[in-house]
Structure 1
Amino acid sequence: MSYNDPYRPSGFGFLPIVTKNILIINVLFFLLTLVLQQTQHIDLTKYLGLHYFSAPDFRPHQFITYLFMHGGISHILFNMLGVYIFGQVLEQVWGPKRFLIFYILTGLGAALAQYGIIHFSIGSFVDQLEAVQNNLTLDTFVSLVNSDEFQMKLYQTDGDFGYMQNFNQIAKDNPSRALSLASQYLIDFKNSFLNSNVIIGASGSLFGLLGAFGMLFPNRLLYLYFFIPVKAKWLVIGYGALELFSGITNRAGDNVAHFAHLGGLFVGLILVLIWRRDRANFY
C-alpha cells in the first residue's frame, strides 16, 4: 500500500491490546459516571478528574485517571474515534509498551500545559484573595466581594453560601460575628473556586497520537469529516493552528482546554523526534 492511499482502520476485533483496553476502560468509566450520578448522586469527576494542585480535591492519581473521564457523549465519541483510528497503527509500529508510555506521557504533557494556563488565569486573583484573608477587615472584605472580578469568579463556583444572606444586617448589629462569617466565607469560596478548575478527557493524548501519525506517515490520506481527503501532515498543522488560535482568542463560553491539546501535541512530536534518534530501537 502506498502512503498516499487512504487510511482505513481495522475492525475492533483486530485492535492491538493497549488500544483496545484504552477504548474499553474509557467507555466503562463513562458509563459508571452516568450510573453513579443518576442512582447515587455521586459525581465521579470530583474524584477522578484532574484538579488544580492547590485545590482541596486534588489527588496525585488524577494525573492518570483524568484521561479516562469525559464530559458528555460527543466528548467521548470524538476522542475514542481518534484513539481507534490512530492508536492501532502506532501501537503496531511501536509495540504495546512504548505505545502505552507515549499515551501516558502525552496525557501528562497536556495536563501540565493546562496547569500553566490555569495558573496564569487565576494566580493573581488567588493572591489578591489571600492578601485580603491575611489582613481581613469588613471594609477590605466588602470591597473584594463587590468587585466585578470576584462576582465573575463566584459565578463559576457551585458552593453553598446561604449563610451569608443576612450578612449586611449582621455587620451592623455584630461586627465581630460578621468578621468571623467573612473569614469562613473566604475560606469556603476559595476552596470551591479552586475545585471548579477540573481537567478531563483523553484529548491531550489524542493530539499526541495525531502528531505522531502525521510525522510517521505525513502523506497518508485521511478523510476529514469522513469525505474530505487531507494528508496527515496538513491535518496536524491545521488542527494545531486552530487550537492555538482558539486558545489565544479564548471566546466566552468556550470550555475546551485548547492548550492541553497543544501540550499533548507538543510532547508527542518531541517523543517521536527523540525515538527517531535511536533508529535501531524505534520500530
Structure 2
Amino acid sequence: MFNITPVVRALLILNVIAYLITAVSPSVLELYGLHSFLSDLFNPIQLLTHMFLHGGFSHIFSNMIGLIVFGPMLERYWGPKRFTFFYFFCGLGAALLFSGVNYYEMSAVYEAVRDYRAAPTPDGFSAFITEHAGAYYDQMAQFIDSYQAQPTNPDYVQGSLRIVNKLFGQQVDQPMVGASGAIFGVLMAFGLLFPNTELFLLFPPIPIKAKYFVIFYGAFEIYSGLYQQAGDNVAHFAHIGGMLFAYILVKYWNSQRKTFY
C-alpha cells in the first residue's frame, strides 16, 4: 500500500521497538522522556530520546501514519542523508522551543515556590493554589480554612510546604514524549515543497491542497498553544517548533539550490 523508503522504514522500526520496550517497562518514559530544564530529572540526552517514545497506541499510531504518508516523498526528493538530517533537526528544534516555553512558564511557578518556602503563611498558600494550581483549590479548601485558623501550627505549615513541593513536582517532572515535533516538520516541508498536492481527509471527507492543510493545522496549533485548555496534555509548542524549524530549513535549502545533487 505504501512505498516506504529506507530511512522512513528505519525510523518506523525504531519507534515501534521503543514503544514495545515502554509497554514492558513504563519507567523508560520517566528516564528518557523530555523533562523541564527546571526538573532534577532533566538529562540532555532526553532532547533526542523523547522522539522515539510515545504515551499510548493512538499516539504512536497517528505519528507513524504521518511519517509513512508524508515522509517517503520527502526522502525521495532530498535523498536519505538530507531527509535524516531534516527529521532530527525538526525534532530537536521542537524540543528546544517546547522547553523554552516550558521554562518561561515554570519559572514563574518556581519563583512562587521559592518565595513560599522562605515565608510560608496561610494567605501565601491560598494565593499559590489560586494562581498556580487552581484545579486543586476545592480539594484544598478545608485545609486552607484550618491553616487560616491556626497559622502558626507546625503541622499545617509543614503540610502546606509538602503540598506546594508536590504540586510543583507534578508540573515540572511531567515528561514530554513523542515524534510529533519531527512529524509536524515533515508535514510543513510537504506543504512547502508540494503545495498543490491534494490530500483527501477523512473528517470531513473532502480533498484539500497541502498548502491549505498546513496553514490550517499551523494556525490551530498556535491557537491551542496560546489558549491551552485545562486538561489538554498535548505539547502544542513542540508541534509549532517542528513546523517553524522545518520552514526555516526548507527556505534555507531552497535559497542554496546550487548545492542540491
Among candidates 53, 56, 64, match of residue 69 of structure 1: 53
The reply to whether residue 136 of structure 1 matches residue 119 of structure 2 is yes
Contact 2:109-2:168 within 8 A present in 1 as well? no
Q: Distance in 2 between matches of 1:107 and 1:265?
A: 10
Q: Secondary structure at the match of 2:110?
A: helix
Contact 1:144-1:150 within 8 A present in 2 as well? no
* Residue identity in the other structure for 1:230: I
Cα offset, 1:251, TM superposition: 2.0
Q: Matches of residues 119-268 of structure 1 in structure 2 within 5 Å?
A: 119-133=103-117, 135-137=118-120, 139=121, 142-147=122-127, 148-152=130-134, 175=154, 190-196=168-174, 198-225=175-202, 227-268=205-246
Closer, same or farther in 2 for the Cα pair 1:207/1:108, shift >3 Å? same
Cα offset, 1:143, TM superposition: 3.3
* Residue identity in the other structure for 1:213: F
Q: Distance in 1 between matches of 2:6 and 2:135?
A: 44
Which residue does the alignment assign to 2:13?
24
Residue-by-residue CA offset, 1:166-206 (whole Å, 9 max, x unaligned): x97xx89984x87677666655654444212x211111111
Q: Secondary structure at the match of 1:222?
A: strand
Residue-by-residue CA offset, 1:94-133 (whole Å, 9 max, x unaligned): 1111111111111111112212332333221211111232
Cα offset, 1:16, TM superposition: 2.0
Closer, same or farther in 2 for the Cα pair 1:130/1:73, shift >3 Å? same
* Residue identity in the other structure for 2:106: I
* Residue identity in the other structure for 1:57: L
Q: Secondary structure at the match of 1:230?
A: strand
Deviating more after overlay: 117-126 vs 256-265: 117-126
Contact 1:153-1:193 within 8 A present in 2 as well? no
Q: Secondary structure at the match of 2:199?
A: strand
Which residue does the alignment assign to 1:5?
none
- Structure 1, gaps ≥5 residues long: 1-8, 37-41, 156-163
Deviating more after overlay: 16-25 vs 242-251: 242-251
Q: Secondary structure at the match of 1:199?
A: coil
Identity of aligned residues (%): 39
Which residue does the alignment assign to 1:161?
none
- Structure 2, gaps ≥5 residues long: 138-142
Q: Matches of residues 75-114 of structure 1 in structure 2 within 5 Å?
A: 75-114=59-98
Contact 2:113-2:165 within 8 A present in 1 as well? no
Cα offset, 1:35, TM superposition: 1.6
Compute the RMSD of aligned alpha carbons. 2.7
* Residue identity in the other structure for 1:266: L
Q: For this pair of structures, how many residues does the alignment match? A: 249
Cα offset, 1:10, TM superposition: 3.0
| TM-score under structure 1 length normalisation | 0.78
Which residue does the alignment assign to 2:140?
none
Q: Distance in 1 between matches of 2:239 and 2:190?
A: 15
Closer, same or farther in 2 for the Cα pair 1:154/1:122, shift >3 Å? farther
Q: Secondary structure at the match of 2:27?
A: coil
Contact 1:110-1:204 within 8 A present in 2 as well? yes
